[in-house]
């Protein structure tokens, strides 16, 4: 991760606006002025979102209405906290202080932005409330301004759960590396302290710890190299660890991803005295996890990952295991409201899907593609589509630690629906979403034998979340490679209540045993009849009805705008279906019963609107 950008995104660094400044801090605010006091409760102001243009400020994400601030905060001086209250989208904050410095934030906690300014000067603060995505709609949002709570303070004289470990120079040569059991994580954000001021970009301090209790305390005799490395305890499945070490001289050393997700810190000519060690977790869930702290006297060496030697003939090979990364913050962060919300990302699968289940196929990356924040009750639908039509797969982890997978929920596109309208049981909280590909990203086939295939590059995908049930446009009818072997039409069975066979939209009168007409197809219902050729979408009402004599008849439909399907109810009550008759995209059903027929003309995929079609009834040949 890029530390400089991460610091700016968290609102930790004051930013200077570029020369071509589009935002005007001196303009009259659109929503009004807040005048909070340094000792009173938070002051709030209701606003309407304006997300029309990028901020134009380096490392300040999101879209705002740049012409004027949404609000102005007149601050009497002291520690200031600005945040938002709202639901339905991913908001951002951009603040220009009286000194001309900019402070920006996207996700201070979950999807809620927080701008904290310690020792904020007295004066006028111009505030823009924007959105991570452009044109997020006319959302209602509330700005809150209040005194910032006192910063958390590390307890440098605190007692570690395992007490103090005393080591002398040369300990590794005599007895080998020293391992200590420890606890990692907590609720205190390391980034909210001032220990990062002297850090370089490679030592940016991050993560969450319990500042009152160090994970370990080491008393060192001094004079040699002292190295600290943290890993997860054997019984912990996955977490992204961080580490901060306070040295006897008062300096801080920090590490995050030195060896994969594990931190490591080496200090040459380490001074004698007390070393306070905090092992944190990068994620902000406040949980504590078991960890192992290893002390050595050699500087840590970052691992090298060799190039792929290729697929040779060998009796065995080295395997890999890809644990999913539950702590990394994805680039797409969605908050579910009354309308569907979407975000785009580039998906580059790195390994086989490690989640097991009947539809848990494909290849994904360790880090999630998106997060979805939902509050309140209701069914939740999450879907993914690829711009280039790539066959995608989907993995979703719920806030209550359940896992769901999907492959072809809508054509080649996956979708996961949790709860229904009648049973709105989707849990509130953050859903993690992994989008992957059905095909192997190395270019090999599913059986690993296609050596001529080309590796897949990053795939552009769109993740959509909605409070409601998923709308399917192209169902998977379970036919796979048998599509070309289907009959022109087939018999079907039906015992449901969805269809209304006695309410045709129109009736055709046969003359000389034939009729034809132009009709409008409205297809919203997935064909509920079961049969080999019973696919697509239809209207509950028949598109037309007609009465035939005792003769062979052929019923056909055609359209220049859509791939049509057909459902026919015969006078005897039997059902017939057709999709692509005689290799065309037009359906046909042949019959020879006398009596009244009901005919539903539909589309193979859910149409965006009404479709025009031409239908005909005539003498069938060869019956």
What does the pLDDT look like over 85-117, one tens digit per residue?
A: 876 678 899 999 999 999 998 877 667 888 989
Q: Are 415 and 464 in contact (CB under 8 A)?
A: no
pLDDT at 480: 45
Instruction: Name residue, tokens 């001021």.
Output: 197
Percent of the chain with pLDDT over 90: 40
Least confident segment among 158-162, 166-170, 205-209, 438-442? 438-442
What are 325-339's pLDDT values in tens digits?
887 888 888 888 888
What are 7-48's pLDDT values in tens digits?
333 333 334 333 334 788 999 999 999 999 988 889 999 998
Q: Are 367 and 330 in contact (CB under 8 A)?
A: yes
Please give the full DSSP string across 480-542, using - where no structure is assigned: GGGGGGS-SEEEEE---SS--TT--S-EEPPBTTBEEEEEEE---EE---EETT--SEE-SS-
Residue 603, C-beta contacts closer than 8 angstroms, at least 6 positions apart: 521, 523, 536, 537, 562, 563, 564, 565, 611
- How is residue 149 written in tokens? 């709570």
Which 8-state DSSP code applies to residue 427?
P
pLDDT at 561: 85
Q: Are 395 and 436 in contact (CB under 8 A)?
A: yes
Confidence label for 135 from pLDDT (cuts 50, 70 and 90): low
CA separation, residue 111 to residues 45, 93, 333, 345, 616 (Å): 19, 11, 7, 17, 56
Q: Are 620 and 568 in contact (CB under 8 A)?
A: no
pLDDT at 483: 46
Q: Are 291 and 183 in contact (CB under 8 A)?
A: yes
Please compute the mean of the pLDDT values over residues 229-237 and round it to a whole number. Answer: 89
With H, G, I as helix, E, B as strand and everything else as coil, classify residue 321.
coil
pLDDT at 478: 53
Which candidate, 546, 408, 559, 413, places its Cα nearest to that of 478? 408
Torsion of CA 356, 360, 366, 371, to 10 degrees: -110
pLDDT at 307: 46
Please compute the mean of the pLDDT values over residues 545-570 and round it to a whole number. Answer: 90
**Residue 216 β-bridge partners:** 277
Instruction: Please state, in angstroms and rounded to a whole number, the distance separating the CA atoms of residues 218 and 274.
Output: 6
What are 484-527's pLDDT values in tens digits?
456 778 888 888 888 999 999 999 998 888 999 999 998 888 88
Confidence label for 482 from pLDDT (cuts 50, 70 and 90): very low
Residue 479, C-beta contacts closer than 8 angstroms, at least 6 positions apart: 486, 535
Torsion of CA 295, 202, 305, 232, to 10 degrees: 40
- How is residue 453 written in tokens? 């295939």
pLDDT at 479: 47
Confidence label for 356 from pLDDT (cuts 50, 70 and 90): confident
- CA dihedral over 24, 26, 30, 35, signed as positive or negative: positive
Which candidate, 454, 440, 451, 434, places its Cα nearest to that of 363? 440
Which 8-state DSSP code applies to residue 413?
B
Which candidate, 185, 258, 205, places its Cα nearest to that of 227? 258
Confidence label for 402 from pLDDT (cuts 50, 70 and 90): confident
Does residue 454 surpass a pLDDT of 80?
A: no
pLDDT at 469: 84
Longest Cα separation, the chain: 109
Which candidate, 561, 555, 552, places its Cα nearest to that of 599? 555
Query: Distance between alpha carbon 286 and the CA centroid of its chain, in Å?
Result: 21
> If you count them, how many residues does the chain have?
623
Q: Structure pTM?
A: 0.47
How many CB atoms lie under 10 A from the CB of residue 469?
15
């Amino acid at each position: 991760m890029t530390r400089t950008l991460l610091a700016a995104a968290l609102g930790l660094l004051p930013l200077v606006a570029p020369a071509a400044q589009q935002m005007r801090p001196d303009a009259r605010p659109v929503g009004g002025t807040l005048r909070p006091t340094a000792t009173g409760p938070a002051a709030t102001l209701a606003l309407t979102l304006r997300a029309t243009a990028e901020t134009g400020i380096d490392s300040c994400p999101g879209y705002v209405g740049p012409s004027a601030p949404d609000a102005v905060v007149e601050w009497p001086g002291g520690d200031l906290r600005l945040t938002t209250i709202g639901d339905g989208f991913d908001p951002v904050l951009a603040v220009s202080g009286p000194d001309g410095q900019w402070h920006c934030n996207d996700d201070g906690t979950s999807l809620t932005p927080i701008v904290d300014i310690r020792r904020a000067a007295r004066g006028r603060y111009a505030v823009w409330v924007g959105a991570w995505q452009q044109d997020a709609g006319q959302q209602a949002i509330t700005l809150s301004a209040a005194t910032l709570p006192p910063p958390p303070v590390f307890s440098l004289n605190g007692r570690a759960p395992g007490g103090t470990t005393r080591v002398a120079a040369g300990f590794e040569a005599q007895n080998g590396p020293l391992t200590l059991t420890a606890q990692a994580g907590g609720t205190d954000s390391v980034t909210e302290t001032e220990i990062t001021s002297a850090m370089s970009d490679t030592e940016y301090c991050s993560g969450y710890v319990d500042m009152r209790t160090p994970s370990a305390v080491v008393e060192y005799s001094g004079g040699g190299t002292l190295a600290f490395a943290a890993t997860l305890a054997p019984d912990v499945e996955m977490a992204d660890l961080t580490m901060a070490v306070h040295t006897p001289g008062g300096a801080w050393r920090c590490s995050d991803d030195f060896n994969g997700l594990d931190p490591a810190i080496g200090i040459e000519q380490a001074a004698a005295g007390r070393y306070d060690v905090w092992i944190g977790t990068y994620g902000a869930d406040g949980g504590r996890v078991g960890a192992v702290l290893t002390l050595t006297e050699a500087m840590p060496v970052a691992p090298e990952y060799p190039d792929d030697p290729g697929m040779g003939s060998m009796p065995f090979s080295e395997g890999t295991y890809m644990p999913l990364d539950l702590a990394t913050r994805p680039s797409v962060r969605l908050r579910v409201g009354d309308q569907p919300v979407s975000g785009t990302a580039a998906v580059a699968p790195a390994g086989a899907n490690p989640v097991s289940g009947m539809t848990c196929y494909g290849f994904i990356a360790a880090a999630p593609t998106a997060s979805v924040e939902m509050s309140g009750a209701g069914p939740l639908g999450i879907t993914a589509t690829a711009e280039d039509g790539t066959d995608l797969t989907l993995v979703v982890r719920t806030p209550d630690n359940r896992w769901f997978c999907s492959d072809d929920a809508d054509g080649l596109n996956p979708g996961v629906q949790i709860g229904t309208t009648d049973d709105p049981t989707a849990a509130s909280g953050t859903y993690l979403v992994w989008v992957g590909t059905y095909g192997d990203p190395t270019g090999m086939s599913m059986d690993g034998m296609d050596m001529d295939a080309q590796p897949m590059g990053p795939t552009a995908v769109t993740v959509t979340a909605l409070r409601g049930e998923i709308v399917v446009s192209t169902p998977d009818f379970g036919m796979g490679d048998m599509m070309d072997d289907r009959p022109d039409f087939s018999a079907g069975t039906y015992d449901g209540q969805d269809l209304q066979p006695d309410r045709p939209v129109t009736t055709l009168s046969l003359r000389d045993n034939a009729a034809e007409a132009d009709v409008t197809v409205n297809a919203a219902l997935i064909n509920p009849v079961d049969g080999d050729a019973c696919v697509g979408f239809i209207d509950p009402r028949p598109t037309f009805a007609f009465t035939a004599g005792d003769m062979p008849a052929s019923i056909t439909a055609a359209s220049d705008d859509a791939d049509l399907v057909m459902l026919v109810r015969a006078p005897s009550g039997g059902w017939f279906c057709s999709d692509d008759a005689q290799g065309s995209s037009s359906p046909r059903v042949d019959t020879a019963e006398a009596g009244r027929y009901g005919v539903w003309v539909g589309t193979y995929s859910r149409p965006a609107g009404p479709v025009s079609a031409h239908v005909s009834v005539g003498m069938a040949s060869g019956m």
